[in-house]
Structure 1
Amino acid sequence: MIAIELLEKYGAVKKRYDKASTIFEEGKLPTHYYQILSGEVKMNNYNDDGREFIQGFFYENQCFGEPPLFLNRVYPASAVALENTELICIIKECFLELLANNPAISITIIENLAQRLYYKSVMAAEISSEEPEHRVLTLIDYAIANFNLKKSQHGYLINFTRQQIGDLTGLRVETVIRAIKSLEKKGLLKIINRKVYR
């Protein structure tokens, strides 16, 4: 995303978050732009029944939480570190100044937001009309294209848990497990030592 040196020029600082610690909470007004230096972040919220809804996962060199920052609206979800995570953070006013002075960076941010919006549109259509196997495969292929997944001799390692796949596709965990097994039988996925590869 944005070069660390450029962020630091505008006053950005590095912050560390321990695994399971909250970076920001749903319902709070945004004050910073966040970019991941290392680690993994999950954005989520819960419905009235306590069921978790995952908005997304974010990895090294990705940013998160920008839409409310631009709209000056409260966060619709919380951000939690899924492992020990290091971020670079810059105050909103300084971030907006950075964008005003660097139009090419603004285009990069717009492209990133458009990519996420596209993903949400694709997944909304999948959840409303497609079979479980198709939903799971669409999510996995999107993750491979956009989340810097590691490739090994077995293929791309899909580092989502079955629960996370369920949360992202609107499926029950049991359905996800059946879909993955079926996709393996069809030769579209591999399961090696309980890990899923594409």
Structure 2
Amino acid sequence: MELLIVSASQRTGSQSAKIARYLSEKADSFRKINHVELCQYQLPFWDGSADSKSADDSSWPLIAQQIKNADALVLITPEWGGMASPLMKNFLLMCDSQDSAHKPALLVAVVSGISGAYPIAELRMNALKNNKLVATPDHLIIRNVEQVLNHDEPEDKRELHIRERIDYSLHMLMQYAQALKTIRLNHQQQPYPKQQEYCYGV
């Protein structure tokens, strides 16, 4: 089982990347773990055309291959003005359902204060329709992110709770990855007649 962790802050040295590194260390039930920090890649602004993904110097083909290889994804976005980051939205628009469909995704919001629910709600509502990723029922909101997951041991009970919730969420993500792999195999071996007519979600 392969896991792809995508962190979508538009800043280098971000808290989102810090959380991605922590999750990478904890997701040891996966055979292989890749972390894509989107701000480190040259990505075009998707204009609706498949050609824009492979424009000169675009890094998208490299990322698309990692999506194709993955059995599960973790999508980490900072909260910017109550929204998911533009980089995360662009990433999800560029995902091809041939690579991403019927794969579980753990949604993670990172916020410096005490909010963080809005990016999760936004991603659940309208970000997974055409790429057909399957958001797990559990999600993570890492609040006051500068104060947590900085050391080997938790600083207080609140951080201990966050760490335990992370462990549980990654455990369940593996369960969904195993289950949905069966669905993907069945979908390939027993395709629905004219299934390409239903390539877009409703």
**Is the structural similarity TM-score above 0.5?**
no
What TM-score comes out, normalization by structure 2 length? Answer: 0.29
Of structures 1 and 2, the larger Rg is shown by 1
Greater strand share, structure number: 1
How high is the TM-score relative to the length of structure 1?
0.30
